[in-house]
Structure 1
């Protein structure tokens, strides 16, 4: 509906109506006046028509008359990209469907003409999603309430649903794509990333809190086999140095009890918001580990990858421990295994048992040598000494 049409004043006006002269030839007329109508085809009662007139040389007001308007419309002068006149009047709510003339007046004369087509009014309509549409967790949902109908009132509408974190306010945007409908109220709401699969009701309420309408909303996370599921994960893998993810190994990485290991995860197409909820869990870790997106230059050109450091619990026995990462809203679960070397039996901060054994052995050996030397000295003494 919101399209643009150009008309030109005499002497080329008649030719334009007959289709012999395109709008681009309007500048050829020495006294040509450009009339640009936006939204003049298929307008409903109450919708706005954008009227732009250029090339008027006469002094005084520039006005527009048409049976679709309740009164003569005065255009405002502007100097944006050259002088011109502009207005956005609304089609009268009482106009019946049909085609009506529109005339531009300046200096007491008619300087341009065109036509306005009006269609029937439509009952108010609330939309939450297209019929049969399935939305994904984290996806943005467009809400709209077309309230353009005789007798309808109210300027504040809200939508609520168990699928939303909070109520959403619908407002009219005069600079948006629905500028021509002054009673089109819209909103964008992002579904929570963790919303469970299910069918939810979205309820629209009026300014007094009364229910206006409700619509069903189906939410389901994509699964392997769905056309929009393109995830390809790798991991978990493990590496030692915090700056060496390229050395990560999925098998055979060993860490000491009480030490630190870095967990790596990659995905060719992560779900929206994965950066905020990827976790690695393991009975070997002191706590679950948040895996953050690697934005370093080292990761340029690779699939998105995530890693984070995990503290291994002290006192663990040697063994092979599982490490699990769940992504894509629980649809993808991968488990790797980490080798843990058992804790040193020496108490933290105490003497090294190996050194104690060496020291004890050395002491015993020294005592033996001393005893032998004493015995030899006894034998070497004279008998009468």
Structure 2
């Protein structure tokens, strides 16, 4: 009775975890392994899943599932040179064509730490027969995972993955979101031919737009001014992160005539403040002169 209860708990936990995982990575046995005459006519699909839909890295936990298994199947084993050890799948429930990953004590459902980046084969077998295959796309351990890296006018809300066109000489805001930020990294550096000097983006910046699309990631943001002599065209935008070990490249588009010097929002605000100060000083002078004239009369 106790063992039956534990088994039910493990199945329920597996189902709940799969609902929290991100997009699946799929391969169909129909393409990799044509159906055999004595095998099931329906293609079996092998998927792998990574928490929050992130890129699979060396050392990461990974979950597998199969769908389309024939009635009566009882066990599938997943093997790959990328895995720490084989992973076993069993039916989600009796008679089910779907699976749940078993999680016995001492098992490690992980990619091997220190594995080189690349595509690694994964094979699903049942009683010695291959039922499906796929390839695991593995990134280097500790890699950045940039969900978005955008640039646009300061008053634009950069909620998407594409940068907005910018004008020469204009003020711009930059936002970079890393789902796997390096520990202790509070700033990243961005360089481009459109800037006079590299731009530093920081966490906790007032330029952070606070977009829900950045949930789960570390947001680096900042602002800068484009050079006024930049011709129209597309230019590289490069971020240096992970303590100088990784670069991320994007393209920005420059369009339109250069903004005249002093037409940016910051400069206009400064000029307005200066004008207000001068106006106040003028009123004060006029009042003083009026008082002196009255005293002389």
Task: Report the TM-score when normalising by structure 1.
Answer: 0.31
Higher relative contact order, chain-length normalized (CA < 8 Å, sep 6+):
2
More strand, by proportion: 1
More helix, by proportion: 2
Larger Rg: 1
Task: Report the TM-score when normalising by structure 2.
Answer: 0.38
